[in-house]
Amino acid sequence: MTTMVPARDTEARSLADVLPSCGAALRGESNPLGLPLATGIVVVVVDGLGSAALKQRAAYARTLTAAAETLWSGFPTTTASALTTITTGVLPGVHGLVGYSVLDPEHDRVVRQLSGWDAGLLDPLTWQRVPTVFERLRDSGVSVHSVGPGRYAASGLTKAILRGAAYRAAESVGDRFEAAASILQAPGPSLTYLYVPELDMAGHRHGWESDEWSRALEEVDSQLGRLVSGLGTGQGVLVTADHGVVDVPAHKHVIFGDKPGLLDGVRHVGGEPRCLQLYVEPDLTQDARDRLVEAWRAAEGHRSWIATRREAIDAGWFGPVDPAVEPRIGDLLVAARKGIAYYREADERGRSMIGQHGSWSPDETQVPLARFGVFAR
C-alpha cells in the first residue's frame, strides 16, 4: 500500500539559488534570481522568518514586506539543512545534512547537526560533502565574510558550512548590521553573509504570535532600513530565511512511544518533532518493515505524511540524493501535515518549545526574498 505524499516543484526557485546568483552577479553573469551586476553584496539570513508569519506581522517590518517575494526553503525545514543549502547552493541530498538529527551510519548513532560535531567521529570537513559558494568565490578573488554571534565562530556547523568566509563576531543585531556596512566600504568585490538567529530563538520560546517575536522582527527591520539607506552605487542586499514557523501548543503534542506497533523494529529515532526520521534494525525483514509503515499510516496518516525513504526520494523531498547520503535518511519519515508535533515520551526534552518547524506546510517551506540597492525591482 502506498500513500500520497507532497512532491518538490523542480521549477520553483529555492534557497539553493541565492548565493550562486550572488556570485554570478559579482561576475556580471546571468543567474536564477535575475540579479544585475554588483560590486558588493550582503545576504541577510533571518532564522525562522516564514513568508506567512511575515505577512501577518507586516506592521512590524515595513522595509521587508515592501520588497518581499517568496522562495521555497527546501526540505526538511530545519536550520542545519537549510543553511547548508544556502551556503553550498545544493539541496540536502547532495550536501548531506538531511535533518536536525540524523543517522551516522558508520558509527551507528544519531547525531545532531547543529551541535553534535566531533573531529574524531563526525568531521565537518567531510560530513558536509561539497565546497561552499564562499570557497569558490574566495578562490576567484572575492572578499568573503560571515557575520554572526561569537558563540558560533568555532562551531562544527560553522566549519562545515561557512568555510571559505572570514568569520566576524558581533553579538547584537545592530552590531552585525554595522559590521556588514563596514565591509561594504572596503575596495574590491565582496560578499557578506549576515546571520540573525534572534527571531528563531523568540519563536521557539514564545511562538511567532508573541510580542517577543514581533519585537525581534521590528529590530531586524529597523537595522535593515539603516543598512539599505547607506548603500552605494553597485551595492545590493538580499534578505531571506532558512525556514518558517508553526506554533504548536502543548495540547497538540502527540506522544507515540507507548502506541502499539509504532516502534516495532525501530533502532533509532531522528529528525525533529514535526518530521520524525525512523531508522529500523538492519536485519528487519521486509514484512516487518511493511507492518511498521502500515501501523504509522493507520495511526497517523490522517494528520501526517508517512513516507518510506524510497517514496521520499522519488518525490524529490531531498533533491537528487547521492548514494553516500542515502543511508543518513530515515527508513520511514513522519512529516506533520497538521499543527502537531511528535514526542516519544511525555517528559521528553524540548516540549517547552512553542514555535516549531521541519515539515512540508507552506508556513514552514515558504520564505521571503527581499531585494534592495542595485537588486531592487
- Per-residue pLDDT tens over the stretch 31-47: 999 999 999 999 999 99
Q: Is 299 found in the same domain as 202?
A: no
Q: Is 193 found in the same domain as 93?
A: yes
Q: Is 200 found in the same domain as 61?
A: yes
Domain-located, residue 174? yes
pLDDT tens sequence across 156-176: 999 999 999 999 999 999 999
Domain that holds residue 82: 15-97+114-245+359-373
Domain-located, residue 82? yes
Q: Is 283 found in the same domain as 306?
A: yes
Residues with Cβ < 8 Å from 254, sequence gap 6 or more? 300, 340, 341, 342, 343
Q: Is 263 found in the same domain as 236?
A: no
Q: Tell me, what's the pLDDT at 377?
A: 86
Q: Is 236 found in the same domain as 308?
A: no
Q: Tell me, what's the pLDDT at 280?
A: 98
Q: Tell me, what's the pLDDT at 3?
A: 63
**Of 231, 132, 249, 151, nearest to 198 (Cα)?**
151
Domain-located, residue 197? yes
User: What's the grid cell of residue 99?
Assistant: 535533518
Q: Tell me, what's the pLDDT at 119?
A: 66
Q: Is 233 found in the same domain as 257?
A: no
Domain-located, residue 152? yes
CATH number at 134 reads 3.40.720.10
Q: For 321, which DSSP code?
A: -
Q: Is 284 found in the same domain as 193?
A: no
The number of domains in the chain is: 2
- pLDDT < 70: residue spans in the chain: 1-3, 119
Q: Is 83 found in the same domain as 169?
A: yes
Domain-located, residue 180? yes
Q: How far apart are CA 371 and CA 377, in angstroms?
A: 7
Domain-located, residue 366? yes
Domain-located, residue 9? no
Q: Tell me, what's the pLDDT at 1?
A: 40
Strands annotated E in the chain: 40-46, 68-72, 101-104, 109-112, 143-148, 166-169, 190-196, 235-240, 246-247, 253-255, 266-272, 275-280, 304-308, 332-336, 341-343, 355-356, 366-373
Give me the residues paired with residue 14 across strands. 72
Q: Is 179 found in the same domain as 55?
A: yes
CATH number at 306 reads 3.30.1360.180
Q: Tell me, what's the pLDDT at 100?
A: 97
Q: Tell me, what's the pLDDT at 349?
A: 87
Domain-located, residue 8? no
Q: Is 128 found in the same domain as 212?
A: yes
Q: Is 296 found in the same domain as 231?
A: no
